[in-house]
Structure 1
């Protein structure tokens, strides 16, 4: 089970802030904190709640949202009506992972949040990354139509790491690793054939049983 992504919206328009908060709250795996309407409020919220992701407007009553992103060392999206190239370059140099121009369809924010969750799962460990893992994570974050394909060994490593703590379905593994469900399923079957993964069946009230997968070391302790 992954830890929910605590997300703080920073926007001086309380209606816009509420809309963005509601989009966040509707996404599985996210927790929406009470919005901050100024940089000072955001700094208080950061100290109190330690958010994982900020959604920050640029023009705030007491300071500039880009400087907040630069100073806080927290993953952030910049969300603003400002779309001039120098401002966008400043936002990216400050560390923004994405920039969304107001106004936008809420579905765009939903998509970016989902991409971020997959990106975060791929880079959240403490061990070293190989180049194709990093390239794929960045491709997912940026919505590339031509994502980098992981080598078989790198994909299997990601899957086994995802199974380190608990069993999971192929769909859950796909979400954790950023690969498609079909790719996750294919590798899980291959790992099971080599006795590196154990397959279990979970029976529900109706319908076919769900296939669950566990790393062999975890399975032996059950």
Structure 2
């Protein structure tokens, strides 16, 4: 498959859409189209710009992002603050390839974009064997195999998170690993959707990432 993957972001928050646009633009093989902020503009952009992938919020001023995706028939991720199960099931049932609950670690979106690019390459044209289909689906959703040692450390982190929400520093202390090791495993767990990340703002300084089990 040739040419960059053209990505249209649909989000009514211009700051959020700008962050997502920058993430897309920084990935090799992707082109970030100008974001749009409502359903009407999304339909026009889809018709005129012919994107390959949509990044859709659910709640738009004049419509529903899930329905925009459904009617477009274009590959899509749903990126939304909505964390209720009916909305998540509706999005996935409509054909969304991924669902990310905002706010999320930027690396989670980066990872899913990279997976999507490999997925498209595997299913680029012509016919496909069952083995190719299985590989493509594993790339899109499964990811690389985890070694026993990594799996063990990640399970310890998940067990520690069962005690309650924590920062990477707090988790490193609970598990008995370095902060860098905890952050690396947390990034992998977040990319797989096993943990959720939120920003906690203090009175001064940079916001702190807080993690919890999904």
SS in 2 for 1:37: coil
Cα shift at 1:107: 1.1
CA distance in 2, matches of 1:68, 1:6: 17
Q: What is residue 38 of structure 1 aligned with on the other side? A: 38
- TM-score under structure 1 length normalisation: 0.64
CA distance in 2, matches of 1:106, 1:71: 28
Q: Deviations over 1:103-137 (max 9, x none)?
A: 00111111100000000111111x22111110010
Q: What is residue 142 of structure 2 aligned with on the other side? A: 143
Q: What is residue 16 of structure 1 aligned with on the other side? A: 16
Structure 2 gap ranges (5+): 147-214
**2:39 aligned with 1:47:** no
SS in 2 for 1:77: strand
> 5 Å matches for 1:157-196?
none
SS in 2 for 1:44: helix
Cα shift at 1:143: 2.9
SS in 2 for 1:108: helix
> 5 Å matches for 1:124-139?
124-125=124-125, 127-139=126-138
Q: What is residue 179 of structure 1 aligned with on the other side? A: none
SS in 2 for 1:22: helix
Q: What is residue 155 of structure 1 aligned with on the other side? A: none
SS in 2 for 1:100: strand
CA contact (8 A) 1:115 1:143 kept: no
CA distance in 1, matches of 2:142, 2:109: 13
Q: What is residue 104 of structure 1 aligned with on the other side? A: 104
Q: Deviations over 1:167-196 (max 9, x none)?
A: xxxxxxxxxxxxxxxxxxxxxxxxxxxxxx
If you compute each CA radius of gyration, which structure gives the higher value, 1 or 2? Answer: 1
CA contact (8 A) 1:58 1:80 kept: yes
CA distance in 1, matches of 2:124, 2:88: 26
Cα shift at 1:146: 4.7
CA distance in 2, matches of 1:94, 1:133: 24
Cα shift at 1:2: 2.3
CA RMSD between the two structures:
1.4
Structure 1: 4+ residue segments shifted above 6 A? none
Count residues with an aligned counterpart. 146
SS in 1 for 2:121: helix
Bigger RCO of structures 1 and 2 (CA < 8 A, at least 6 apart) = 2
Structure 1 gap ranges (5+): 148-222
